[in-house]
Amino acid sequence: MQGLHLTADCYDCRCPPALLLDPVRLRQFVVEQTLRSGLTIVGEKFHPFQSADGSPAGVTCALLLAESHLAIHTWPERQAVTLDVYVCNFTEDNSAKASALLDTLISSFAPARWQTHRLQRGSGASDQTLALEQLTPHTAYGTQLAPPLAQMQSPFQHIEIADSAEFGKVMRLDGAFMTSERDEFFYHECLVHPAALSHPGPRRALIIGGGDGGSSEELLKHPSIEQITLCEIDPMVIQLARLHLQQIHHGALDDPRVRHVAQDGFAYVQETASAAAAGQRYDLILLDLTDPQGANGSALAADCYTSEFLQACRALLNPGGALVMHLGSPFHHPQRFALLRQRLNSVFSLVHPYTVHVPLYGALWGMAIASDSLDPLRLDSHAIACRLGDRAVGELQYYNENVHSALFALPNFVQNLGA
C-alpha cells in the first residue's frame, strides 16, 4: 500500500466543452495521457450523466491501473473538474509518473483556479497520522503523531495527548498544537523570564490558561514567588497534564504555592478587579491562552484579548507589575499582532513586543510585556546575569542574559506592525 496519492480541484475550466460533457472525447484524452505517462491501464469505466431535460450533465470516469487508479469527475454546470491519482510505490517508485499525469490533466482542463493535495500513504509508520494545523487558510504546519495516549471531549473543547518522534508527547486542544515535551522551553521560558527577571522580586502571579503547567514551573524557579493563581477554565486539561505531561510541569501543578481556580479567565479578572482588594493584586499576569480564533473556528479565549479585559488586568497589577501575552505570528497573523499591540498601547504606558521561533508552531511567534513602569530593556546583560545568579534560576534551555535583550531586537517588518 505504500504510495503517493494526488488530488486536484479545478475551477473555471476553459477547456473545450467536450472534455467536460462527452465520455468518448474524455476517454480518448484520458487514456492517451495515462499511457503516455508510463502507467498501465487494466480496466476502465466512463459514465455520462444527464440533466432532467436529457442534455449532457457531466462524466465520471475511473481507470484501474496496475499501479492503482485514476478517477475524474466533471461538473460542466460549474466549469469544474476533480482529479484523483493514486499510485503504489511498493516495488517501483511511480511518483514521477503520477505527478506528470496530474500536471498534464490540470493543464489540459485549463482551470483559472485550482487546488492540489499530496499525501504519502503507507510510509511504514502504519500507526502514525500526519497532524496538521492551519496557520492561515493557505498554510498549514504538521507533524506525525502516534495514536492518542489520551483524548476526551470536555465541556469546553476536545483534548488530545499523543506521542511524536521529534516532539515527544504533544498536547492539542480542538486540533491546535499547544505544547510538547521537547520544545516547550522555547515558549514557556520566553513567556515568563523576560518579565520576571526585569521585576525586582515578583511575589504573586496570575496565570490565565496555562493548564499544562509549563508557565507555572518556570515562575516557581524564582524564589521570591509566594503564590501563583492558575486560572484554567478546563480542569480536564490539568487532569491530563498531571498524568501525561510531567516532563513539562515537573510537578508544578501540585506545588503548594499554586492555587487553582477553575473559572473563565475573563470572569475571574472582572470579578477580582471589581473587588479591588490589595491582597488580590499581582506583580505579574501571564495570559497563557489558546488563540483568539481556533483552527476549527472556536473562540474559547476570545474575550481575554479585548481592550476591556486588558483594562481589568491593569487594575489588578501592583505598582511596578507587568502583563505578558502572546500576539500570534507576525508573519502569518500580522493583523492580529498589530491589533493586539495597539490594544496594549491604549491601556499601558510601556509596551515591549518581542519574538521567538516556536518549533511546534512552525513559525516565529510574537509576545509582549506591558506595564506602566516596568521596562525590560533597562537591565543590561550583566544585570540580568546577576539576577539569574542571585535567584539561582537554573535548568534553562533557551533564555539567558544575552538572549534577554536579543528577544526585543525586532526585524523592521515586525517593528512596523501596530506601531
Copy the grid coordinates of residue 76. 460542466
Q: Specify the pLDDT at position 297.
A: 39
The answer to whether 154 touches 234, Cβ cutoff 8 Å, is: yes
pLDDT at 123: 61
Residues 34 and 100 in one domain: yes
Closest by CA to 259, choosing from 289, 237, 280, 236, is 280
Query: Which of 99, 121, 143 delimits the end of a domain?
Result: 121
pLDDT tens-digit series, residues 316-354: 999 999 999 999 999 999 999 999 999 999 999 999 999
Beta bridge partners of 152: 159
399 close to 346: Cβ distance less than 8 angstroms: no
Q: Which residue has the higher pLDDT, 333 or 298?
A: 333
Burial class, 205, CB count within 10 angstroms (exposed 0-12 / middle 13-18 / buried 19+): buried
pLDDT the model gives residue 366? 97
- CB of 371 closer than 8 Å to CB of 323: yes
Q: Is 291 a catalytic residue?
A: no
Q: Given this model, what pLDDT does residue 216 score?
A: 98
Answer yes or no: do 198 and 228 share one domain.
yes
Q: For the residues 6-35, what does the mean pLDDT come to?
A: 95
112 and 140 assigned to the same domain: no
As a whole number of angstroms, the distance between CA 139 and CA 134 comes to 6
Compare 362 and 128 and report the one with higher pLDDT.
362
The conformation of residue 291, written as its DSSP 8-state character, comes to -
Cβ–Cβ under 8 Å, residues 295 and 133: yes
Which distant-in-sequence residues (6+ apart) come within 8 Å of 403 by Cβ? none
Q: Which helix (H) or strand (E) holds 144?
A: strand 139-145
**Per-residue burial over 253-281, b = 16 or more CB atoms within 10 Å of its CB, e = otherwise:** bebeebeebeebbbebbbebbeeeeeeeb
Place 277 in a pLDDT band, splitting at 50, 70 and 90. Answer: low
Residues 159 and 49 placed together within one structural domain of the fold:
no
Name the domain boundary from 121, 143, 170.
121
pLDDT band at 134 (very low <50, low <70, confident <90, very high): confident
DSSP 8-state class, residue 90: S
- Banded model confidence at residue 4, pLDDT cuts 50, 70, 90: confident
HSE-up of residue 124 (Cα within 13 Å, Cβ side): 2
- The amino acid occupying position 11 is Y
Confidence of residue 287 (pLDDT cuts 50, 70, 90): very high
pLDDT of residue 238 exceeding 50: yes
Cell of 305: 484579548
Q: Are residues 82 and 101 in the same domain?
A: yes
Report residue 96's pLDDT band, with 50, 70 and 90 as the boundaries. confident
| 181 neighbors 167 (Cβ within 8 angstroms) | yes
Residue 36 has pLDDT above 90, yes or no: yes
Of 18-22, 217-221, 241-245, 291-295, the poorest mean pLDDT is in 291-295
Which amino acid does the sequence have at 80?
A: A
Q: Phi, psi at residue 374, to the nearest 5°?
A: -75, 125
Q: Residue 138: which pLDDT band, with cuts at 50, 70 and 90?
A: confident
User: So what's the pLDDT on residue 89?
Assistant: 79
CATH number at residue 43: 3.60.90.10
Give me the pLDDT at residue 163, please. 95
> 17 and 44 share a domain?
yes
H-run or E-run covering 400: none
In the chain, the percentage of residues whose pLDDT exceeds 90 is: 76
- Marked catalytic residue, from 288, 291, 303, 372: 288
Look up residue 311 and give its DSSP letter.
H
Same-domain status, 97 and 153: no
Residues 279 and 365 occupy one common structural domain: yes
Name the E strands within 245-343: 258-261, 282-288, 317-328
* Segment 54-75 mean pLDDT: 94
User: For residue 382, what pLDDT is reported?
Assistant: 97
174 and 253 both lie in a single domain: no
Residues 15 and 67 in one domain: yes
CATH of the domain at 136: 2.30.140.10
pLDDT at 33: 96
Judgement on whether residues 254 and 136 belong to the same structural domain of the protein: no
Structural domain including 288 reads 180-415
The pTM assigned to this predicted structure is 0.75
Amino acid making up residue 285: I
Q: What is the pLDDT of residue 1?
A: 62
Query: φ and ψ at 55, to 5 degrees?
Result: -80, 155
Mean pLDDT of all residues belonging to the chain: 92
Of the residues 137, 163, 178, which one is the last residue of a structural domain? 178
Burial of residue 56 (number of CB atoms within 10 Å: 0-12, 13-18, 19+): middle
The residues pairing with 322 across neighbouring beta strands, listed in sequence order, are 284, 371
CATH number at residue 315: 3.40.50.150
Sign, Cα dihedral of 8, 9, 15, 20: positive
State residue 295's pLDDT score.
41
Give 124's pLDDT tier (boundaries 50, 70, 90): low
pLDDT for residue 294 is more than 80? no
Do 206 and 345 sit in the same domain of this protein? yes
pLDDT tens, position by position, 200-225: 999 999 999 999 999 999 999 999 99
pLDDT of residue 127: 64
Instruction: Tell me how many domains the chain contains.
Output: 3
